[in-house]
Every structure is written in structure tokens, then in C-alpha cells.
């Protein structure tokens, strides 16, 4: 006869609920014991020592250690609004005046720069008049004076100061461009 090892030839079906019950038995018992102990500790009577009886003091008149009597409360203080700030003096309002608004943006667009010998001329578009003008240093356009024209910039002086338009480089690199950058 041949010997058959049943452990290797036939699988034994194990119920997962039985395995779960075995795994959770110890933690459940430990948690129950801890809860019971906490309940007993919470309900255990505490011994309270009685407080001593208060000592009676007899007063024979004002003593030197008595504080002086407080002045009566003036309720008229609470008649006015509490959370309002006092009005500012005219000197403070002048100091707190708003700063001047920034100058309006420069609407001129630099279209190009021409070179004539050693000097440069700027080709500028004015959207207010819808005209293109060729300007050199010292020329005036719409109340603005052209201070200087270089190979890639134009300096324009107006009421707000001197502003610079930069020629936009091909391919998108470069300064403020024809949109009228100021600086």
C-alpha cells in the first residue's frame, strides 16, 4: 500500500469567518476589560475632607488696612457713542490728500526708425489724429517734443516727463514695442 499525505494532496477549506473570529477575540476582550476598568475608576467614590469652619472677625470700627471707598460711578460717560473716532482737524486732512494720479498712457506707436546719414528719424503713428509722421529730434507732435532718436528708441517729453518708446524687435524679443511703452 502506498502512503497518502492528506495535507499535500487535498486542500482543506478554511472558513474566513472562523479565521476573523480567532483574530479579533483577543483585541475585543482587551478592549472590554479596559472599558470596564475605566467605568469603575470613573464611578469610584472620592473621599472629601471637610472644610474648616470660617473664623468670625469682629469689627470695632475702620481699620488701617481698609481700602479707601471707591468714587461713585459716572453714568453720563456712557451716553455718547463709544466707537466713533474724533473728527480730524483740517491740517490732518490736507496731509492725507490723495497723491496725484499717474499720467495717462502714451498713445503714440513707434512703427520704425529711419537712418539718414548720421541721424535717425522716427516713424510714429498718432491714433488720435489717425496719421503717421516722420519725426527727428526737436520736432513736436500733439504737444509732445521729440528729445532724441536712436537706432531703437525714441525719447519723448510731455507734461509728465520724458518717456521712451522702444522699437519692437522681429520675433517678439525686445522692449515695450510699438504699443507705446513708457519708462
- Which one has a higher pLDDT value, 54 or 86? 54
For the chain, the average pLDDT equals: 79
- Which one has a higher pLDDT value, 172 or 102? 102
Where along the chain do its domains lie?
Answer: 14-42, 109-179
Report the percent of the chain where pLDDT is more than 70.
Answer: 78
- What is the tens place of the pLDDT at every residue in 92-132? 666 566 777 777 778 888 889 998 888 899 999 988 888 89
For residue 89 the three cell numbers come to: 482737524
**Assigned architecture for domain 109-179:** Roll (2.30)
Q: Does this model's pTM top 0.75?
A: no
Amino acid at each position: 500500500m502506498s502512503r497518502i499525505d492528506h495535507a499535500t494532496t487535498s486542500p482543506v477549506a478554511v472558513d474566513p469567518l472562523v479565521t476573523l473570529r480567532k483574530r479579533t477575540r483577543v483585541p475585543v476582550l482587551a478592549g472590554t476589560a479596559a472599558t470596564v476598568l475605566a467605568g469603575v475608576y470613573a464611578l469610584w467614590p472620592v473621599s472629601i475632607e471637610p472644610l474648616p469652619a470660617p473664623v468670625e472677625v469682629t469689627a470695632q470700627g475702620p481699620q488701617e488696612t481698609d481700602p479707601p471707598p471707591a468714587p461713585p460711578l459716572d453714568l453720563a460717560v456712557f451716553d455718547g457713542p463709544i466707537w466713533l473716532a474724533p473728527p480730524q482737524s483740517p491740517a490732518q486732512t490736507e496731509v492725507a490728500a490723495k497723491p496725484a494720479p499717474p499720467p495717462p498712457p502714451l498713445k503714440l506707436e513707434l512703427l520704425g526708425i529711419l537712418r539718414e546719414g548720421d541721424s535717425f528719424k522716427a516713424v510714429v503713428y498718432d491714433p488720435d489724429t489717425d496719421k503717421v509722421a516722420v519725426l527727428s529730434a526737436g520736432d513736436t507732435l500733439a504737444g509732445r517734443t521729440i528729445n532724441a532718436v536712436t537706432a531703437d528708441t525714441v525719447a519723448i517729453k510731455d507734461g509728465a516727463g520724458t518717456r521712451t518708446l522702444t522699437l519692437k524687435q522681429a520675433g517678439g524679443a525686445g522692449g515695450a514695442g510699438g504699443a507705446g511703452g513708457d519708462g
